[in-house]
């Protein structure tokens, strides 16, 4: 007979438990740490309690919302209680959102150290379902309930990074419906000390993963066991993770679309006015299909493709539009209807989109939630300023196209060159410019939105095609008069950024080699050589060096710009600045990141109010590649002027993970020109939390100390 025991925010269902001595007990071979992944309202707590009630073995639910005597606690407290649970021969559920790699990493490392498997159960239910549940619930442990919860969940859904086997999980199960979750519950209920779930990725709705009833995967007599090698095949096929955002772009016969992605300029757009603006879905779906049909009947649409995107796989709008598009006979190779994060389509296996549309607000600012917030965050710090150059506000029914700055992560990672802001008609009385139920005016404005959006996209695509022809023509014949190394390098640059082999003589490799050959030596002043000296002679600086490895040294920044500010300095010769690195240096940069991350976590354990960011200056002031590990309070007398502030809060400060990702995808980093450097460092003083402008450093510091806005969703460590 089991009984329920409540202790420090976790539930244990067990018979008389043995005495608990932390760190002393050895774990049984088939104990498991299950990391739940899902936004609020996805059913994580229900999943845990449903397994625990009738489980074949003892389970412990660890919930960070209540772990500190009924109040929200820390990861460290979760790890401590997980240790106690494993020592008492109990498997563990980690019940928190765990929406990205950083949030999951410590739990995976903990399981590895204890010699038990780490599983992920992804509750990837439709966002609308999660919002409805969260709004209707009462007395939630974390207090996330009521009318305001919708915007919170929408924001969190845009930040989801679904788990991959390479993170260290031995098994990942993706549940997209309550039925999937129920089958998964049965599987974990049946798990006992004499049975074991097989490794791999299990997602019946993904063509790249193992499908079928989850019950059959139990390793017990009569159960369907995986054949040898099946798990490794699954792991290989899902190397990039289980991406619900990766759409299955298929024709009616199940084949991939025939239109070449490289020859097909693509616009990704959300449904306009159907979220916060509450436009009737049936009317909106009709307008989308009609305006798309009209667009493809015109000559300007030749060679172009449109992609309707919604974050929610079970979206009512996607379902309606997909059905109507099929009835209208629209070519699915030209008009795709899919789900995913519009800011991450290409990197998650979807189409490469040169232009994306934003369902904007009339102020053209990055507030609110949903698509608007996600695009502003993904586009980078300079996007709002870039938008202001083209428009300060926007009227319903209108659009404005904004070229992305060269430093924008959307451009460097996803290949997006333009964002087209669109403001649709508003039917929500709680939002500005409400036209209530006037659907005569509303339908007219919405048609105007889509027509203007598609025409603007066609103009951008035409301009890009013309520019590409002009740029390529000087080097199209290597023997023609006037052809030069510079011309060849330009062709290489154009084709290389698109990921295509260059036709003719210009290649990305040639451009890189030419740049290296013509690179001017930098005459570093004596004071700028200090880090170089520490890197290669750390024994002379034992009074300041915190750590020395074969690859790097760690030391405090002598002129710290925040409460805690460390430098991880490379010990590899020939790397004066981040501009010198190529993909051959990826192992070094990964090691430097790991060292910096470890020190950041150590400092957070000492002071849990600290939040850290890791990154490089685009143009460093001191010789030798060095990674900044800097707390985001910026509370230091060393931060004195505009250049100090902007060097850490604009895109001049390159996030460590972004640098690694760009090297992996392009083999080199985009150059920061003198013009870009001056523009970024001389830009106005903006709070890195709420983005408001302050007139001077003292006023900015005073504001930052009191600003309560959450930090932007970057690669933060807290």
Q: What pLDDT is recorded for position 170?
A: 92
Q: What pLDDT is recorded for position 228?
A: 34
Residues 66 and 191 in one domain: yes
Listing from the earlier edge strand, what are the strands of the sheet with 3-7?
3-7, 10-14, 59-63, 91-95, 32-37, 117-123, 171-175, 200-202
Residues 554 and 443 in one domain: no
Question: Does the structure show a pLDDT above 90 at 492?
Answer: no
Instruction: Residue 160: give its domain's CATH number.
Output: 3.40.50.300
Residues 180 and 286 in one domain: no
Is residue 211 domain-resident?
yes
**H-state helical runs in 395-473:** 409-414, 439-472
Residues 45 and 181 in one domain: yes
CB 593 within 8 A of CB 574: no
Instruction: Residue 538: give its domain's CATH number.
Output: 3.30.428.10
Question: pLDDT, tens digit, for every residue of 522-532?
Answer: 667 777 888 99
Question: Does the structure show a pLDDT above 70 at 570?
Answer: yes
Instruction: Provide the number of structural domains found in the chain.
Output: 4
What band does 517 get if pLDDT is binned at 50, 70 and 90?
very low
Distance CA 665, CA 436 (A): 47
Backbone angles phi, psi at 169, to 5 degrees: -75, 145
Residues 291 and 358 in one domain: yes
What band does 467 get if pLDDT is binned at 50, 70 and 90?
low
Residues 230 and 342 in one domain: no
Question: Does the structure show a pLDDT above 90 at 574?
Answer: no
Distance CA 406, CA 635 (A): 30
Q: Is 530 exposed, middle or buried (0-12, 13-18, 19+ CB in 10 A)?
A: middle
Q: What pLDDT is recorded for position 147?
A: 66
- Closest CA relative to residue 363, chosen from 681, 691, 704: 691
Distance CA 389, CA 458 (A): 22
What's the average model confidence in pLDDT over 86-95?
A: 93
- Closest CA relative to residue 131, chosen from 34, 38, 245: 38
What's the average model confidence in pLDDT over 561-565?
A: 95
- Closest CA relative to residue 202, chosen from 171, 240, 179, 181: 171
CB 281 within 8 A of CB 310: no
Question: pLDDT, tens digit, for every residue of 246-296?
Answer: 333 333 333 333 334 445 789 999 999 888 888 999 999 999 999 999 898
Question: Does the structure show a pLDDT above 60 at 14?
Answer: no
Q: In the numeric block, which tokens belong to residue 479?
A: 């023997």
Lowest mean pLDDT among 49-58, 226-235, 321-330, 563-572: 226-235
Is residue 586 domain-resident?
yes
Question: Does the structure show a pLDDT above 90 at 588?
Answer: yes
CB 615 within 8 A of CB 627: yes
Question: Does the structure show a pLDDT above 90 at 483?
Answer: no
Distance CA 297, CA 218 (A): 54
Q: What pLDDT is recorded for position 237?
A: 36
CB 65 within 8 A of CB 72: yes
Is residue 324 domain-resident?
yes
Residues 151 and 174 in one domain: yes
Question: pLDDT, tens digit, for every residue of 98-135?
Answer: 988 888 999 999 999 999 999 999 998 888 888 888 88
Residues 513 and 620 in one domain: no
CB 383 within 8 A of CB 409: no
Is residue 259 domain-resident?
no
Q: Computed over its alpha carbons, how large is the radius of gyration of the chain? A: 27
Is residue 216 domain-resident?
yes
Q: In the numeric block, which tokens belong to residue 673?
A: 């020109």
- Closest CA relative to residue 566, chosen from 717, 689, 407, 381: 717
Q: Which domain holds residue 360?
A: 265-467
Residues 285 and 226 in one domain: no
The residues that are catalytic are 626
Distance CA 578, CA 672 (A): 10
Q: Tell me the whole-structure pTM to 2 decimals.
A: 0.40
Residues 270 and 145 in one domain: no
Q: What pLDDT is recorded for position 82?
A: 93
Instruction: Residue 379: give its domain's CATH number.
Output: 3.40.220
On the CB side of 50, CA atoms within 13 Å amount to: 14
What's the average model confidence in pLDDT over 337-350?
A: 86
């Amino acid at each position: 007979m089991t009984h329920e025991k409540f202790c420090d925010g976790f539930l244990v269902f067990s018979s008389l438990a043995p005495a608990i001595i932390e760190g002393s007990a050895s774990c049984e071979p088939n104990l498991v740490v299950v990391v739940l992944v899902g936004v609020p309202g996805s059913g994580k707590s229900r999943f845990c309690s449903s397994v625990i009630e009738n489980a074949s073995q003892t389970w412990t639910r660890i919930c960070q919302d209540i772990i500190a005597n009924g109040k929200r606690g820390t990861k460290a407290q979760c790890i401590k209680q997980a240790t106690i649970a494993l020592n008492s021969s109990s498997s563990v559920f980690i019940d928190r959102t765990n929406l990205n790699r950083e949030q999951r990493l410590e739990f995976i490392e903990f399981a590895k150290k204890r010699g038990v498997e780490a599983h992920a159960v992804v509750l990837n239910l439709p966002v609308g379902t999660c919002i409805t549940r969260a709004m209707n619930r009462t007395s939630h442990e974390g207090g996330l309930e009521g009318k305001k919860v919708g915007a919170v969940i929408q924001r969190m859904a845009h930040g989801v990074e679904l788990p991959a086997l390479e993170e260290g999980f031995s098994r990942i199960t993706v549940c997209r419906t309550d039925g999937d979750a129920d089958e998964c519950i049965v599987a974990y209920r049946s798990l006992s000390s004499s049975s074991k779930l097989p490794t791999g990725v299990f997602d019946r709705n993904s063509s790249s993963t193992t499908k079928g009833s989850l019950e059959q995967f139990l390793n017990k007599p009569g159960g369907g066991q995986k054949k040898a090698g099946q798990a490794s095949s699954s792991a290989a096929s899902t190397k990039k993770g289980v991406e619900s955002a990766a759409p299955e772009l298929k024709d009616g016969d199940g084949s991939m679309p025939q239109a070449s992605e490289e020859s097909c300029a693509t616009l990704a757009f959300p449904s306009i006015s159907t979220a916060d603006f509450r436009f009737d879905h049936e009317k909106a779906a009709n307008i989308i299909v009609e305006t798309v049909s009209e667009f493809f009947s015109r000559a300007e649409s030749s060679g172009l493709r449109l992609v309707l995107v919604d974050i929610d796989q079970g979206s009512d709008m996607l379902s309606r539009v997909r059905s109507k598009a099929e009835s209208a006979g629209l070519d699915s190779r030209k008009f795709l209807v899919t789900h995913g994060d519009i800011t991450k389509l290409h990197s998650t296996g979807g189409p490469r989109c040169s232009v994306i549309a934003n369902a904007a607000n009339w102020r053209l600012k990055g507030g609110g939630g949903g698509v608007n917030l996600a695009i502003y965050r993904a586009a980078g710090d300079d996007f709002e300023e870039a938008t202001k150059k083209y428009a300060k506000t926007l009227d319903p029914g209108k659009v404005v196209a904004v070229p992305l700055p060269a430093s924008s992560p959307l451009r460097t990672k996803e290949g997006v060159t333009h964002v087209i802001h669109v403001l649709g008609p508003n039917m929500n009385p709680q939002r500005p410019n409400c036209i209530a139920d006037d659907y005569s005016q509303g339908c007219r404005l919405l048609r105007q939105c889509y027509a203007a959006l598609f025409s603007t996209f066609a103009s951008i695509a035409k301009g890009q095609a013309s520019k590409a022809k002009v740029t390529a023509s000087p080097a199209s014949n290597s023997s023609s008069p006037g052809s030069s190394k510079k011309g060849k390098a330009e062709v290489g640059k154009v084709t290389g950024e698109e990921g295509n082999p260059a036709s003719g003589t210009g290649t990305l490799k040639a451009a890189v080699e030419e740049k290296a050959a013509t690179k001017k030596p930098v005459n570093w002043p004596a004071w700028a050589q200090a880090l170089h000296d520490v890197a290669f002679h750390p024994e002379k600086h034992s009074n300041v060096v915190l750590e020395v490895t074969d690859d790097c040294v760690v030391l405090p920044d002598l002129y710290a710009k925040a409460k805690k500010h460390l430098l991880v300095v490379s010990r590899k010769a020939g790397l004066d600045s981040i501009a010198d690195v190529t993909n051959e240096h990826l192992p070094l940069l990964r090691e430097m990141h790991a060292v910096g991350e470890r020190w950041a976590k150590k400092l957070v354990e000492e002071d849990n109010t600290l939040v850290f960011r890791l990154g490089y200056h685009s143009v460093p002031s001191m010789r030798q590649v060095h990674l900044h590990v800097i707390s985001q309070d910026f509370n230091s007398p060393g931060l004195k002027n505009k250049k100090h502030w902007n060097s850490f809060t604009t895109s001049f400060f390159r996030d460590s993970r972004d640098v690694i990702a760009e090297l992996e995808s392009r083999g080199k980093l985009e150059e920061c020109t003198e013009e870009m450097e001056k523009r970024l460092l001389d830009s106005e003083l903006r709070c890195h939390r709420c983005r408001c402008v302050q007139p001077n450093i003292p006023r900015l510091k005073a504001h930052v100390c009191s600003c309560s806005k959450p930090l932007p969703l970057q690669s933060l460590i807290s």
